[in-house]
Chain A
Amino acid sequence: MPEFQHPSEIEPKLSRAHLDVVFNNLLDAAYKALEATSTDDDTNWTRGVFPYGRIHGRFIRLQREGDLPWFRLVNKTLDYTVSVNGVLMQFVTDDPDLRKKGHRLQKNQVERYHDSLLGPANDGNLTWRVYVDSDRNPDGPTLTVSILGFDTNRNVICKWVHNYEPLVSVRTTALSPVVEIVDSLPIRREKDAAQTEMKDTGSKDE
């Protein structure tokens, strides 16, 4: 089933390690944005656009810091597009299973130029989109990131849901080690030894 394939099965350049870094960063930025938009003055609009903007900002930062040579932000406009090992992808805040923003499947100028460099469209020319979706839980929304690969007919040929591992789940990185308590072992009393000792004492008296 193609839906259960990791994108790297179709496009080897999209390795697990690289996608994990991008998506964990994305979710980290998005969760922080949700924190900031949980005031009483926030609306669905702020809750929707703020994370999208923050993800954009995170990618700009990753590009600026330059620690990831395989990562580039090739389009900095609102339909921002990143390149992971030369494979382009856009980001959409939408439900990947019930996609409302169909227009976001259209390739932007950067992607079209990229395709033109690769030559005539073939099965290798896929469109990659990353969907960020929220379960809208009032007690604290959970975000999921899915990467979808579309062929030229806009059929989904790859779908993969990212397993989020918080970048830093706790405030500190230097955790106190777990205190291993050793087993307590009862000891058999040596009664015979005591008796022998007594006998020895007796013989000395004689």
Chain B
Amino acid sequence: MNNTTGFLPLGDEFSPDKLRLARCAAGRSLAEIGELLGVTRQYAHKLEVNAIPSPNQLERLCEVLKVGESFFFAPRKSGVELEQCHFRSVRTSTLTLKKTIAAQVEMFELLVDELDKEVAFPVVDFAALDEPVTGAGKIELVAERFRREQGLGLGPLSSVTKLAEKIGVLVVNLADADDRIDAFSLFNKRPLIVRNTSKANPGRQRFDLAHELGHLVMHQGIETGCRETEEQANQFASALLMPRASFAAEFPTMRGKYLNWPALKELKLRWKVSFKALIYRARALDLLTADQAKSGFTYLARKGFTKSEEFDDLIPIESPLLVQRAIDLLDYATWNRVLAAAGLSTEMVKNQFMLNVPIAPLRLVNSYQR
């Protein structure tokens, strides 16, 4: 906006699409926006079609939607469609919530685009499958090939997050991606995995990431979310985290009809997965019979180990570092330029994307305050 005239800048066009994007990312309804601007819901809708907001309305929109003015004056480039996202069909996740998260991811991509001009991220270094895979046996081979291509050997992975970042996948925390949405991934400009930030179980966090890597490797251009694709991603995650050759050799024998829980604890801590994942994997590899696996699950359920398990506190929680490191490389002025070009606000980056931003080395002090 021109400070002298109070009019919108000449030549730059207000983008109604960007308003819709920002509104969705903020999880606001048209009615709410209308109320906040003091206009009708119909007019709020019109703003997302062809109307242009007044300078005051624009200022209010920036404040409410936590974006900069420049955000609305750049055309929307490539949108993130829900079909592109590998969401799990979690019963509690509503379409609105999915749309909100997808919009937030699109805004995160705007930030990454601008960051990419200043900082080079690792190149995307994994081969996605061209054809759909079928059968657990084939998925086993896909996971083994993935390990081989990445030179991972057969041992437990020290960090799945670091592995994802190493092969060029950006892992991001979104404050709104809680239990209602679960982790999800998409491959738009750059592969991206959004973590569920509320899970306290480090084994499950790792499994979620491996599951999303499975989608990125196996399900390019395939709409996911159905039982079959989710099962495939689970099988990939299992096989990636616990390769059959080494895992089968290490899985403890039964103590008669009992599972050897002390040895399973050692296995859990070594492979950094949940007891549940261990038992599933052992069942899939025929190391346990259906009855033995069932008795194991019953034992875990009886102990109340559903969302979190015993000894979880002995496994470190993984955190994404790559994007934060990229931001840390920038000085304050460059960061501000990046932020302005993306049209985002510091508040959004800090609160929604859970990233720390550079701090101004100097602070403005008004002379009359002395």
Which residues from chain A sit less than 8 Å from chain B, CB to CB?
31-32, 34-39, 139-142, 164, 166, 169-172, 175-189
How far in angstroms is the closest Cβ of chain A from B248? 8
**Cross-chain contact of A183 among B162, B261, B266 (Cβ < 8 A):** B162
Among A184, A185, A186, A189, the most chain B Cβ lie within 10 Å of the Cβ of A186
Residues of A within 8 A of B121 (CB): 186
How far in angstroms is the closest Cβ of chain A from B241? 11
Distance in angstroms between the alpha carbons of A187 and B120 in the assembled complex: 5
List residues 263-309 of chain B with CB under 8 A from any CB of chain A.
263, 266-267, 270, 295, 299, 302
The contact sample of 26 A-B pairs, CB cut-off 8 A, is: A31-B255, A34-B255, A35-B256, A35-B258, A38-B258, A140-B260, A166-B262, A166-B266, A170-B251, A170-B266, A171-B252, A175-B155, A176-B154, A178-B155, A179-B152, A179-B153, A181-B166, A183-B165, A186-B119, A186-B122, A186-B322, A186-B326, A187-B119, A189-B117, A189-B119, A189-B120
Residues of A within 8 A of B255 (CB): 31-32, 34-35, 38, 140
Distance in angstroms between the alpha carbons of A180 and B261 in the assembled complex: 27
Residues of A within 8 A of B263 (CB): 166, 169-170
How far in angstroms is the closest Cβ of chain B from A180? 5
The interface residues of chain A, by DSSP majority, are classed as loop
Residues of A within 8 A of B253 (CB): 171
Check if A188 sits within 8 Å of B266, measured CB to CB.
no
Given contacts A140-B259, A186-B329, contact A176 B153 (CB under 8 A): yes
Check if A189 sits within 8 Å of B158, measured CB to CB.
no
A39, closest chain B residue (CB):
B256
Q: Which 5 A-B pairs have the closest CB atoms?
A: A38-B256, A140-B258, A176-B155, A35-B256, A181-B162
How far in angstroms is the closest Cβ of chain B from A171? 6
B315 CB within 8 Å of chain A: no
Residues of B within 8 A of A35 (CB): 254-256, 258
Check if A182 sits within 8 Å of B118, measured CB to CB.
no
**Cross-chain contact of A140 among B261, B302, B329 (Cβ < 8 A):** B261
Check if A36 sits within 8 Å of B256, measured CB to CB.
yes
Given contacts A176-B246, A178-B156, A179-B156, contact A170 B162 (CB under 8 A): no
Residues of A within 8 A of B251 (CB): 170-171
Check if A38 sits within 8 Å of B162, measured CB to CB.
no
A139, closest chain B residue (CB):
B299
Residues of B within 8 A of A32 (CB): 255
**Cross-chain contact of B165 among A139, A170, A179, A184 (Cβ < 8 A):** A184
Check if A188 sits within 8 Å of B156, measured CB to CB.
no
**Cross-chain contact of A171 among B120, B152, B249, B261 (Cβ < 8 A):** B249
**Cross-chain contact of A184 among B118, B153, B322 (Cβ < 8 A):** B322
How far in angstroms is the closest Cβ of chain A from B361? 18
**Cross-chain contact of B119 among A140, A142, A164, A188 (Cβ < 8 A):** A188
B91 CB within 8 Å of chain A: no
B251, closest chain A residue (CB):
A171
Distance in angstroms between the alpha carbons of A166 and B266 in the assembled complex: 10
Check if A181 sits within 8 Å of B252, measured CB to CB.
no
Residues of B within 8 A of A178 (CB): 155-158, 270
Residues of B within 8 A of A37 (CB): 256
Q: A176-B156, A179-B153, A182-B166 are in contact. List 10 more A-B contacts (CB 8 A).
A: A34-B255, A166-B266, A169-B266, A170-B249, A170-B250, A170-B263, A177-B153, A181-B166, A186-B326, A186-B329
Check if B325 sits within 8 Å of A186, measured CB to CB.
yes
Distance in angstroms between the alpha carbons of A62 and B166 in the assembled complex: 51
Check if A181 sits within 8 Å of B157, measured CB to CB.
yes
Distance in angstroms between the alpha carbons of A176 and B246 in the assembled complex: 7
Residues of A within 8 A of B157 (CB): 178-179, 181
Distance in angstroms between the alpha carbons of A181 and B161 in the assembled complex: 9
Residues of A within 8 A of B118 (CB): 188-189
Given contacts A171-B250, A175-B250, contact A34 B158 (CB under 8 A): no
Distance in angstroms between the alpha carbons of A175 and B156 in the assembled complex: 10
